[in-house]
Amino acid sequence: MTRYIMFVCVDGDPDTDPSPEPDIEKWVADNDASGKRVGGDRLAGPSDATMVRLRDGKTLVTDGPFTEGKEFIVGYDLLECDSMDEAIAIAAAHPMARGGRIEVRASWPMELDLS
Amino acid sequence: MVSTLIRITGDWSLAEDCTADAFEKAIARWPVDGVPDNPGAWLTTVAKNKALDRLRRAANEARKLEQVAIMNELEVDDVELTDDRLRLIFTCCHPALPLEARVALTLRTVAGLTTPEIASAFLVPEPTMAQRLVRAQKKIKNAGIPYRVPSIDLLPERLGGVLAVLYLLFNEGYTAVSRVDLAEEAIRLTRVLLQLMPGEPEVQGLLALELLQHSRRRARLVDGELVPLEEQDRSLWDQALVDEGLSLLRSGGRYQTQAAIAAVHARDDGDYSELVALYDRLGGGAVVALNRAVAIGMADGPEAGLAAIEALPASDYYLVPAARADFLRRLGRDAEAAEQYRLALAVVKTDPERRYLARRLAEVEG
């Protein structure tokens, strides 16, 4: 099993297919029930983001970053899948695969560095 | 052999290294000990033991130890070898990999070409190609791209992806000038795929299409000059390839339809009545629409062809003025033809096409 993170994004270029989009409640319920989805949530908007840096021992906190573009992350889901193919199938069934786009990333466990 | 080791170890670079080691060992041992009765099995066993050895040394975690235990129980037979090759093709052509990496990986891992050979075939520096291959192998491992044949519901879509890679490779062969004949390599790989998926109509369709097009290779380009179909020396067509291509025609999807179109030209009996209907089945796109208009011209004469081109929605497809010019030339409307040939020359893509158009322009200006 590999852990995959779905970054759910808007991209200003939604699907034009008029058929109804899948229901998000059902998507969450189905994937929670199968044990494939192990967590996830929506995110507060990018205008409410806060940036933290440490420089020369000082914590620097600033407002932002401000994303000017139409592409930003609006949520995330954590999946446990046996392969990228399974993760792709789950991502493709998410309504935001049509409303925007979904970036699927495999996690990179620390233990792999030791082998 | 590499494909079997990949399945067993799940590690592409380990599989390649151990296979290379096995060949080295064979070179050292066979001249002394004689060639074993079953060289393939000998090599696979040596490579497997080598991989086992390396994994054992690296086995400082339970997961790896488990893998070693599984490997000890694995015996490889022919059926498994077939399945492994098929898995390998689907993995190399996985849509999560960039298209150019899919093509390169297929040539490297399935066809067994060397990195320098692939680099020269695509006219890129060798380090660039090496990096492309390493990145793709890394992504397969890190992103968990599965080493298996996709499930039935995904198969049509993913098979389409595999066929697209092979067809792209074949088409590269038309233009690429290199040591490796990519068109022949593509045909070889399509044959392998058909052996692995016997009776699959779209694989048969792609092979038929490739064979029918390839049968004209000696007639199509003579001394670097492009010879249009109507002027080709028929005796230069490879009849064995034509016959084999025709024998693979079935009813079916896109590749079968394209093969059926190629078959109309290969039969060369002056009957073009089917062509328009075949293009209708292909549907959509500026290229298909123009070819359909040219087909109307072949079936019903240049006047009808010209009218069909004028009826097309506006497009900047570069062959539109060239096709219009050819019909005008046939109709004896030389001045208009010349004008279109000049337009075509301004947007032409390859040198043989440029020389062909220039020759035609000289004719109508003559």
pLDDT tens-digit series, residues B139-170: 999 999 998 888 888 888 889 989 999 998 89
| Residue A74 within any structural domain of the chain | yes
Total count of domains within chain A: 1
Rounded mean pLDDT of B114-137?
A: 91
Does the ipTM surpass 0.95? no
B62 touches chain A (CB under 8 A): no
Give domain status of residue A114, yes or no. Answer: no
Considering only residues 75 to 94 of chain B, which have any Cβ-Cβ distance to chain A shorter than 8 Å? 94
Query: B58–A85: do the CB atoms touch at under 8 Å?
Result: no
- Is the pLDDT higher at B249 or at B55? B249
Q: Which of A108, A111, A114 sits opposite B142 (nearest CB)?
A: A108
Sorted by where each begins, the domain ranges of chain B are 1-76
Could you read off the pLDDT of A41-100 as tens digits, one per residue?
999 988 888 999 999 999 999 987 776 778 899 999 999 999 999 999 999 999 999 999
Asked, as a colleague might, if the bond just before A46 is cis with ω within 30 of 0, I would say no
Interval A71-82: pLDDT, tens: 899 999 999 999
**By the 8 A CB rule, do B45 and B156 touch?**
no
The CB density around residue A109, as the number of other CB atoms within 10 Å, is 10
Residue ranges making up the domain that contains A40: 2-108
What is d(CA B17, CA B3) in angstroms, rounded to the nearest whole number? Answer: 12
pLDDT in the model for residue B342: 94
Interface test with B, best of A1, A79, A85, A113 (most B CBs within 10 A): A85
pTM for the structure as a whole: 0.76
Q: What is the pLDDT of residues B227-276, one digit of tens each?
A: 888 889 999 999 999 999 999 999 878 999 999 999 999 998 888 888 99
Residues in chain A: 115
Residue B179 has pLDDT above 60, yes or no: no
pLDDT-derived band at B302, boundaries 50, 70, 90: very high
The DSSP result for B288-337, as a single string, is: HHHHHHHHHHHHH-HHHHHHHHHTSPP---TTHHHHHHHHHHHTT-HHHH
- Please report whether residue A115 resides in a domain: no
Task: Return the closest-CA partner of residue B67 out of B14, B111, B107, B106.
Answer: B14
Residues of A within 8 A of B139 (CB-CB) are none
Task: Answer yes or no: is pLDDT of B79 > 80.
Answer: no
If you average pLDDT over residues B288-304, what whole number do you get?
Answer: 92
Domain assignment present for residue A91? The answer is: yes
Per CB-CB distance under 8 Å, the chain A contacts of B143 are: 84, 105-106
B139 touches chain A (CB under 8 A): no
In this structure, what CATH number is given to the domain that contains residue A72? Answer: 3.30.70.1060
CA–chain centroid gap for B213, Å, is 12
Chain B partners of A82 at a C-beta cutoff of 8 Å?
Answer: 144, 146
Least confident piece of the model among B1-5, B227-231, B332-336, B349-353: B1-5
In a domain, residue A10? The reply is: yes
Nearest CB to B144; choose among A84, A111, A115: A84
